[in-house]
Structure 1
């Protein structure tokens, strides 16, 4: 599945509530760095970023979650770190971002060190609304300017080790095709269904959503089936084509307004009576959000001033943190249209 970014890539969530959890998170990151073939220098940078993110959670919130994952954007691979807590936020972000580098050149601490060491770094921490930190470290430092228009998170039901949801992004000649799949039920069998949908769309980004839905319907027949949403975005033409089956939430957020996209009833792989492809304007600066039904539908970005301008992965993480139902697999995929509104 070359040039495909998806939740099937290696990733690990770490619950951070004790000092030892920072070590566990660091070891998880080092394992991913070794798997990716990251240099010792960049693996060391990653270790500091993860340690600082976990320490920030413990120091300011007491507990939280940290996600370390492999991602791919524009054919370039990277490791991404997302730290989420529901603590007090950061009252003076500018002061908190000051780097602690000494005159001797020793490593700094806190957010400043993370920003200095990461190729891309972002934070959202309004007072009273928790802190979300995001850092990206490319496998190849020369790829640091590579744009990343998408970001996603996928969290299994607390009692499960495998997530029954899956998301994917596949590029094709100026288009990005977004997929969100929610396998029926939970656990390994639901995960198999969602993974089958991801494999079905890999390499087929040039097909319209209705055709891709047909491909997925055939691919998922041996599985228990899934709810699916597929959006194909023409970046230059600023148009989005959409098809959905089942209860996947899909929205376009532009000019401060949220437009929810309609899906039809059914289970892909078993019972699909109607697939309807619809087209929508998707202007510069717009956000496209796909969410499984483990996320409540009542979220409103207007309640998060400034969040819409943050990294897509950070937006996805905040929505997951604050709007997960807690009794289902939960996933969010966000795409930011190039340009400003």
Structure 2
């Protein structure tokens, strides 16, 4: 399905703690660019963005990590770069974005170069609270390509090569459907269960959350099962429809208030009672957040001034960085409710 984005697209987490990691990250990015069919110019721009992002982590935080991901949106493909650290943040952001200014005694062109080369760029770096930088580069120079209104991160448990969590976003028409699946346990068998749920969404993206949950229940019977959360956004009605089974956290954040959505007990594919679909008001600009149980639920936007206005991928990355339990796969998906005219 052309209008399906998911965490199953090619992506790589790269730890940054040594100068050699910068080159490794750049090579991984070039491989993604080649797979995506980027031309030499776009590929070169991506290499600079990755190099600057990784170098900034080393200079200012000492260590951190990059997430490089190939993403599909509205039939178009792009590569996204997330640079995440737990360093000192940026005390004067406006000054730091000025070429020739650096607190590390360098040329100071890193953030400025990234902003100029990226098709979309955003960052969150309050003093004392680390830095997250986000850059997106489309396969071809964009000509009216809409800005993405969602973003997600999916981090496997340490030592695992596959994540038992998976998320997806489908927008076959005016509605947008968000899904997060958390396969029971972790590792390859958990990943199979989560992938089965996403394949079901891809096959029947128009189904309402309650019906789609039932379809996933049948599709996941041969697997070990999964927790599942499905939210469909209706921009015209400014309404969200939701169905959830298991311990995936789902919430709406609007007008400074976070509303938690209720899920049913059970395991999709094995032990699931009848699930009722619930409707909630969801105004334009509201954030919809899904998080696997690898993320603690005791987070508060009041602890992060200005974060709610940042790119969805940055919001997801900050919550993952600061609230991952560290003993399971961890995933966060964030979407912004569009206006009725979008």
Check the 8 A contact 2:42/2:140 in 1, yes or no: no
RMSD: 1.5
Distance 2:245 2:334 in 1: 19
Residues 144, 59 of structure 1: CA spacing in aligned structure 2 closer, same or farther, 3 A cutoff?
farther
Cα deviation 1:25-74 (Å, max 9, x = unaligned)? 11111000000001110000000000000001000000011000011222
Distance 1:143 1:176 in 2: 23
Check the 8 A contact 2:236/2:339 in 1, yes or no: no
Residues 245-324 of structure 1 mapped to structure 2, 5 A cutoff: 245-324=245-324
- Indicate the residue corresponding to 2:216 in structure 1: 216
Distance 1:238 1:262 in 2: 19
Distance 1:248 1:74 in 2: 27
Cα deviation 1:126-164 (Å, max 9, x = unaligned)? 000000000000012124641201100000001211100
Check the 8 A contact 1:100/1:113 in 2, yes or no: no
Distance 1:7 1:28 in 2: 17
- Indicate the residue corresponding to 1:120 in structure 2: 120
Distance 2:11 2:144 in 1: 21
2:57 is the alignment partner of 1:57 = yes
- Indicate the residue corresponding to 1:133 in structure 2: 133
Structure 2 residue ranges without an equivalent (≥5): 102-106
**Aligned-pair distance for 1:3?**
2.1
- Indicate the residue corresponding to 2:186 in structure 1: 186
**Aligned-pair distance for 1:252?**
0.1
- Indicate the residue corresponding to 1:164 in structure 2: 164
2:241 is the alignment partner of 1:244 = no
Distance 2:214 2:121 in 1: 39
2:31 is the alignment partner of 1:27 = no
**Aligned-pair distance for 1:339?**
5.0
Classify the secondary structure of the residue corresponding to 2:171.
Answer: strand
Residues 30-109 of structure 1 mapped to structure 2, 5 A cutoff: 30-99=30-99, 109=109
**Aligned-pair distance for 1:203?**
4.2
- Indicate the residue corresponding to 1:14 in structure 2: 14
Check the 8 A contact 1:286/1:336 in 2, yes or no: yes
Check the 8 A contact 1:164/1:191 in 2, yes or no: yes
Classify the secondary structure of the residue corresponding to 1:295.
Answer: coil
Distance 2:274 2:83 in 1: 40
- Indicate the residue corresponding to 2:230 in structure 1: 230
- Indicate the residue corresponding to 2:104 in structure 1: none
**Aligned-pair distance for 1:204?**
2.2
Say how many residue pairs are matched.
335
Classify the secondary structure of the residue corresponding to 1:202.
Answer: helix
Distance 1:331 1:142 in 2: 29
Classify the secondary structure of the residue corresponding to 1:98.
Answer: coil
**Aligned-pair distance for 1:311?**
0.4
Stretch of structure 1 that moved more, 119-128 or 66-75:
66-75
**Aligned-pair distance for 1:108?**
7.8
Distance 1:77 1:235 in 2: 24
Structure 1 residue ranges without an equivalent (≥5): 102-106
**Aligned-pair distance for 1:306?**
0.6
Report the TM-score, using the length of structure 1 for normalisation: 0.96
Classify the secondary structure of the residue corresponding to 2:95.
Answer: helix
